[in-house]
Amino acid sequence: MTTTTAPTGSRLAGRTAIVTGSTSGIGAATATLLAAEGAHVVVSGRDAGRGEDLVAAIEGAGGRAVFVAADLAGTYEQLRTFAAEATAALGGRVDVLVNNAGIYPATLTEDLPDADLDAMLAVNVRAPHVLVAAIAPAMAARGSGAIVTVGSWMARVGSPFAAMYTATKAADEQLTRAWAAEYGPRGVRVNTVAPGVTLTPGNEAVRAQLDAMTASTPAGVVVTPDAVARGVLFLASDDAAMVHGVTLDVDGGISATRMG
């Protein structure tokens, strides 16, 4: 699956952005859209080939992007090195940080391997915390910046599987509220986008299951990465100048309604 978002405007003209986990899916759609709106974007991930392909696509459409490799399950020092390298690649200034990278082992509690549990906590919770700690202070010193974390509709409902994943996304929402209180008074807006059941390259094999899950929602269809990216763009832009500490549900109504 490839993103089809086309250049649309200049809401982020002259700004810079880091999008973690942006070599495919929601992250790729987000990086593409932010670049289409004028931002100079760091595309990041572990797959350099996919990252460079996305950079080439963005630049071919008239945008600006650079790939910086990142393993968000790495050590604290590796995370801080990534933050420094990404900042340097953007000329020393980061205006927007999108904490998109996440992993989702969908198992029963007793079936979750220890290594997967550690990786999920590292990527979904530890990495956003370390990156915000590395990047937000400079935003606050300037008096401007936006941080958007990609959460999940599952953070606020109980489900019979993926307990730890949903807990990490609930933690991300609480971090958003706390960071909004911590950094908001110094000009940094912090918010979350919570996608619903989203079709990405990683779950195309279970498309029928995703369709069944969303058939009874108000939207009636799966969420697309582009739809989530537009939510991120809103929160990253001046259109959301008075939006602090919220979770914006881009989920087709699955978390707020019951149709049957």
Catalytic residues: 165
> Which strand (E) or helix (H) includes residue 59?
helix 48-60
User: What amino acid is encoded at 141 in this protein?
Assistant: A
> From CA 163, how far away is CA 245, in angstroms rounded?
24
> Which strand (E) or helix (H) includes residue 189?
strand 188-195
Which tokens is 142 given?
């300037």
Which tokens is 149 given?
């974390």
CB under 8 Å to 21, separation ≥6 — which residues?
A: 27, 44, 45, 72, 100, 101, 102
